[in-house]
Amino acid sequence: MRRGLTLLVLLVLTACSAETTTNPPAASPAAGGPGEHKLTVTVGGAERTFLLHVPASYDPARPMPAVVALHYRPGSATAMRELTGFDAKADAAGFLVAYPEGVGGQFNAFGCCGVQDDVGFVKAVAGRLVEQWHADPDRLFLAGVSNGGDLSFRAAVEAPGVFAAIGVVSGGFAGGRTEAADYRPTAPVSVVTLIGAADPQAATFHTGVDAWRSRLTCAAPPATPSTTAAPPATPAEPALDPGVHRTTTHCQDGSDVDAYVVDSGGHTWFGATGGELKDATVKVKATDVLWAFFAAHPRRR
């Protein structure tokens, strides 16, 4: 009886050992492939949503750039997708583009709007793109318009090292915490911004760019006439209409700041043909300007 019991125990142990050896845990499933995706992340105990466009050229074995695009107020991820045309640009240039959804159609930026942790939200979206969609961490970029542009500036300061560059259209670095003299990024992040001369907030936006350059010890913008005419475009940059003016400066931390002023522009996404903040009357296309700047400004290590 004892001998039979011993044999039975040995057989059970052998079977368990064989199962452990021949059946390892299954690998995590792939995040997905090209196309449109609606995804969620949890931030501060709350579930937040974002849309993701993955171009047909996506290959998880080859890290690609990614743009996180923040909508205006009141707006939505879908509205930002329609306004910017970033999906078509992503298909042509080969990058991921994510559209975070604000709470109640808005983001918590500088003194407006809400109390939700939108910097944490933006960081979580960027993290998901890197971890599950194989985005290149050195080519993560943040774009925003109006309220979303304000949040882009805030995230550049409060999420150091996450984004290589930000692009802000009809938005600014002003109000609330920006008033503190030491409120600035602690890791290099380049900035491109487009301001309409007829935007009611244009003066505020210009003051914000000046403050940003001052705090980062950027070189003074070139003297006139360079400040009143755009420099010749490089092959990677879109050509500019005579009514669009650019100043470009290099900062002590290695970042760059490019500021465009559109003579006839208002509070819009310049060059957009669809969406609430469209303006197809100007020659410059904000989407093209932002992507050209992003492509030229990966993180430099």
263-286 pLDDT, tens digit each: 989 999 999 999 999 999 998 999
| Residue 3: inside a domain | no
Q: What is the reported pLDDT for 239?
A: 61
| Residue 12: inside a domain | no
Q: What is the reported pLDDT for 283?
A: 85
Q: Of residues 18 and 259, which shows the higher confidence score?
A: 259
247 close to 194: Cβ distance less than 8 angstroms: no
| Residue 89: inside a domain | yes
Residue 127 has pLDDT above 90, yes or no: yes
d(CA 107, CA 77): 12
Residue 301 has pLDDT above 60, yes or no: yes
Q: What is the reported pLDDT for 9?
A: 35
Q: What is the reported pLDDT for 240?
A: 67
| Residue 6: inside a domain | no
| Residue 19: inside a domain | no
> For 44, what's the count of Cα atoms within 13 Å in the CB-facing half-sphere?
10
| Residue 23: inside a domain | no
Q: Of residues 143 and 231, which shows the higher confidence score?
A: 143
Mean pLDDT, residues 218-243 taken together: 59
Residue 110 has pLDDT above 80, yes or no: yes
> Tens digits of per-residue pLDDT, 27-85?
334 468 999 999 999 999 999 999 999 999 999 999 999 999 999 999 999 999 999 99
| Residue 269: inside a domain | yes
Tally of domains in the chain: 1
Residue 16 has pLDDT above 60, yes or no: no
Q: What is the reported pLDDT for 21?
A: 31
Distances (CA, A) of 291 to 59, 90, 287: 20, 9, 6
User: Residue 150 sits in a domain of what CATH number?
Assistant: 3.40.50.1820
The reported pTM is 0.85
| First CA to last CA distance, the chain | 72
Mean pLDDT, residues 182-196 taken together: 97
Residue 102's pLDDT band, with cuts at 50, 70 and 90, is very high
Q: What is the reported pLDDT for 111?
A: 79
Residue 234 has pLDDT above 60, yes or no: no
Residue 223's pLDDT band, with cuts at 50, 70 and 90, is low
Q: What is the reported pLDDT for 237?
A: 60
Range of the structural domain that residue 243 is part of: 31-295
| Residue 9: inside a domain | no
Q: What is the reported pLDDT for 2?
A: 40
What angle, rounded to 10 degrees, do the helices at 86-93 and 77-84 form? 60
Task: Identify any residues that bridge with 189 across adjacent strands, giving them in sequence order.
Answer: none
> Tens digits of per-residue pLDDT, 236-265?
566 667 799 999 999 999 999 999 999 989
Cβ neighbours of residue 225 under 8 Å, at least 6 residues apart?
A: none
